Chain A
């Protein structure tokens, strides 16, 4: 009985997985060293932040919002972590501070969006620029280098030949899948995204949902910052500037629609989208396509996937209308 009300990843996610399979086969044929274990592990390591941040982005976009500030937020947190590492602060303190900063920053976005009803885009575009300036102020034009956090060993380790990082990401995605699909709060997020008015009337505190979602997004950015430092060992000025677009691309390819798009999608689709973007970036490098065009491909993918969603949604809308008449 209950099963009926629990949505499963729908056809849209299968489309993403199909695309992913086609992409892997295509690159595998075109570039012989694409399908090697070493390369695949490198892809996972290089895109761990995108994988993390995309979870938060999925939640925010399920609500019909968008968060352009995640990249700069991750940058600010990474710098704070870097300074604390240099000051040899205890690892637990570092982690707790990082997550708290992330949640506080997310709270700020969520507060402005829910309390003042400012469109998400405008709030996050503004906070993005504010955090960029903060990054500049904190770094003062220098790079933070030689950072070697103790969690770096964990992210590079392997368990039975499988990178721990990959296992970690899959576990986190599983947790969020469970949370969004089977917990009350997760269902509230879908309900609010589908129709805020009716969600409000049915007793859901829409503003609180929005606020908490942004806090989750910020908190996740803290973990992404930790992964970034573990991977790079340094922080530079442009940190995270390409992150939002990659995450938005992953989420839209994964089938989570933006405003007015039926509010479908799940983190499973997002995971497929992340892998799609990750392999695409890798394939572009391996095939020797000019890297200046990388953003062009990602932008085209975003446009094509929202176009696909819009066209199919329109069809469904028309059918519904005819049925009603």
Chain B
């Protein structure tokens, strides 16, 4: 028993899978409808935008120096709105996608320059840009959602192939794989982790910190822009409040997935399981007809509990390992 507890505390993945199983059991007890294939497929659609945004947020946190990006939600809103404006003004979907991705990259670059080059605390810098981007999105739409996308745009998020929603099969899975390759199979990823664990050592190994850290923020921006496009296709409208509250969900997912707030540790795999857990919880609460404002409150609670749990588990592991010696 003790051995098992230790192995669960030590391995984040085991712990998260246990949590996920418990959640599925509880939710299916509450509503028999929950475990139907239809519902599960729908749940994946809810989690689509959150997946990419959380990966970006997790990377920013891993890269350390109190890294955090509060503006991801607003980046998603603004790039989605710009996508919508391009389409409405006669641009093709392809140009709109390119422009939206470029928007995400530029917005991320602004964050990156502030944090990595000017050395402004990430928290305040991205809090400021969050309000700038969000209010620009509102201003551009005038507060009215942009609709009137061509019907063909539905292909991306409202249709499915082999029963799997298109945006999961053709966007989320490939992009996640690309991010994983970038982080776990290439030099870039090792550098990001090293910057998080030991910035001093990273400096002495000749890592160009400014460049890598800016790239991480740009990556987070681009991932948010991809989420925005998926979301636009799913709702067939571009809304200025599409990303509101996304940063909160992304931070919760990252922390729940085992990303250390201090940077340098945690695995993106945990983040993916975290996305599944949070998305299922949201959907469960929706099925149980709970107001969305309570979903945010639940997220808040989970965030605090997850972080306390992180510390208790690492303390427990440290204590057990010390005993062994």
Task: Identify the A interface with B (CB < 8 A).
Answer: 66, 112, 116-119, 121-123, 125-130, 132-134, 136, 245, 248, 252, 257-261, 290, 292-296, 298-303, 306-307, 309-311, 314
Q: List 28 A-B contacts (CB under 8 A).
A: A116-B307, A116-B308, A117-B311, A119-B261, A122-B303, A125-B303, A126-B299, A126-B303, A128-B300, A129-B248, A129-B297, A130-B297, A130-B301, A134-B297, A257-B121, A258-B121, A258-B124, A261-B121, A292-B142, A299-B130, A301-B128, A302-B124, A302-B131, A303-B132, A306-B120, A306-B125, A309-B120, A314-B119
Stretch at the interface among B12-20, B36-44, B219-227, B288-296: B288-296
Could you tell me the distance in whole angstroms from the C-beta of B160 to the nearest C-beta in chain A?
33
Q: Closest A-chain residue to B140, C-beta based?
A: A292
Could you tell me the distance in whole angstroms from the C-beta of B139 to the nearest C-beta in chain A?
5
- The answer on a CB contact under 8 Å between A123 and B131 is no
For A136, the chain B residues whose CB sits under 8 A away are 291, 293-294
Question: Does B66 reach chain A (CB closer than 8 Å)?
Answer: yes
- The answer on a CB contact under 8 Å between B128 and A302 is yes
How many residues of chain B are within 8 Å of chain A by beta carbon? 40
- The answer on a CB contact under 8 Å between B121 and A112 is no
- The answer on a CB contact under 8 Å between B308 and A127 is no
CB under 8 Å from chain A, chain B span 113-154:
114, 118-121, 123-125, 127-132, 134-136, 138-139, 142-143
Q: Complex: how many Å from CA A132 to CA B135?
A: 21
The residue among A127, A307, A314 with the most chain B CB atoms within 10 A of its own CB is A307
Could you tell me the distance in whole angstroms from the C-beta of A81 to the nearest C-beta in chain B?
21
Contact of A259 among B123, B134, B291 (CB under 8 A): B123
For A294, the chain B residues whose CB sits under 8 A away are 135
- The answer on a CB contact under 8 Å between A132 and B293 is yes
For B125, the chain A residues whose CB sits under 8 A away are 303, 306
- The answer on a CB contact under 8 Å between A310 and B119 is yes
Could you tell me the distance in whole angstroms from the C-beta of A236 to the nearest C-beta in chain B?
14
Question: Does B273 reach chain A (CB closer than 8 Å)?
Answer: no
Q: Closest A-chain residue to B138, C-beta based?
A: A292
- The answer on a CB contact under 8 Å between B135 and A296 is yes
Contact of A125 among B119, B135, B293, B300 (CB under 8 A): B300
Could you tell me the distance in whole angstroms from the C-beta of A281 to the nearest C-beta in chain B?
13
Q: Closest B-chain residue to A260, C-beta based?
A: B121
For A314, the chain B residues whose CB sits under 8 A away are 119
Q: Complex: how many Å from CA A95 to CA B304?
A: 30
Contact (A303, B129) CB under 8 Å given A133-B296, A136-B291, A314-B119: yes
Question: Does B242 reach chain A (CB closer than 8 Å)?
Answer: no
Question: Does B48 reach chain A (CB closer than 8 Å)?
Answer: no
- Listed from nearest, the 3 A-B pairs whose CB atoms lie closest are A299-B131, A133-B297, A302-B128
- The answer on a CB contact under 8 Å between A295 and B114 is no
Question: Does B255 reach chain A (CB closer than 8 Å)?
Answer: yes
Contact (A122, B307) CB under 8 Å given A252-B124, A303-B114: yes
Q: Closest B-chain residue to A252, C-beta based?
A: B124
For B105, the chain A residues whose CB sits under 8 A away are none
For B138, the chain A residues whose CB sits under 8 A away are 292
For B118, the chain A residues whose CB sits under 8 A away are 307, 310-311
Q: Closest A-chain residue to B299, C-beta based?
A: A129
Q: Complex: how many Å from CA A133 to CA B131?
A: 22
- The answer on a CB contact under 8 Å between B131 and A125 is no
For A245, the chain B residues whose CB sits under 8 A away are 127, 131
Besides A292-B142, A295-B134, A296-B131, 8 other A-B contacts (C-beta < 8 A): A116-B307, A118-B307, A129-B299, A133-B294, A133-B297, A258-B124, A261-B121, A299-B131
- The answer on a CB contact under 8 Å between B296 and A299 is no
Could you tell me the distance in whole angstroms from the C-beta of A235 to the nearest C-beta in chain B?
16
For B297, the chain A residues whose CB sits under 8 A away are 129-130, 132-134
Question: Does B251 reach chain A (CB closer than 8 Å)?
Answer: yes
Question: Does B236 reach chain A (CB closer than 8 Å)?
Answer: no
Question: Does B52 reach chain A (CB closer than 8 Å)?
Answer: no
For A309, the chain B residues whose CB sits under 8 A away are 120
For B119, the chain A residues whose CB sits under 8 A away are 260, 310, 314
Q: Complex: how many Å from CA A128 to CA B248?
A: 11
Contact of B251 among A125, A130, A300, A303 (CB under 8 A): A125
- The answer on a CB contact under 8 Å between B128 and A130 is no
Contact of B128 among A126, A132, A290, A303 (CB under 8 A): A303
Q: Closest A-chain residue to B312, C-beta based?
A: A116
Question: Does B68 reach chain A (CB closer than 8 Å)?
Answer: yes
Contact of B136 among A117, A296, A311 (CB under 8 A): A296
Q: Closest A-chain residue to B311, C-beta based?
A: A116
- The answer on a CB contact under 8 Å between B66 and A119 is yes
Could you tell me the distance in whole angstroms from the C-beta of A117 to the nearest C-beta in chain B?
7
Q: Complex: how many Å from CA A99 to CA B125?
A: 32
Q: Complex: how many Å from CA A226 to CA B96?
A: 49
Q: Closest A-chain residue to B261, C-beta based?
A: A119
Q: Complex: how many Å from CA A261 to CA B293?
A: 35
Q: Complex: how many Å from CA A314 to CA B119?
A: 8
For B123, the chain A residues whose CB sits under 8 A away are 66, 121, 258-259
Q: Complex: how many Å from CA A99 to CA B296?
A: 26
For A112, the chain B residues whose CB sits under 8 A away are 304
Q: Closest A-chain residue to B294, C-beta based?
A: A133
Q: Complex: how many Å from CA A311 to CA B125?
A: 13
For B114, the chain A residues whose CB sits under 8 A away are 303, 307
For B293, the chain A residues whose CB sits under 8 A away are 132-133, 136
Q: Complex: how many Å from CA A103 to CA B228?
A: 40
Against A, the Cβ 8 Å flags (1 = close, 0 = not) of B269-310 are: 000000000000000000000010110110111011001100
Contact of A122 among B132, B139, B251, B311 (CB under 8 A): B251
Contact of B124 among A123, A127, A130, A306 (CB under 8 A): A306
Could you tell me the distance in whole angstroms from the C-beta of A97 to the nearest C-beta in chain B?
23
Against A, the Cβ 8 Å flags (1 = close, 0 = not) of B54-82 are: 00000000000010100000000000000
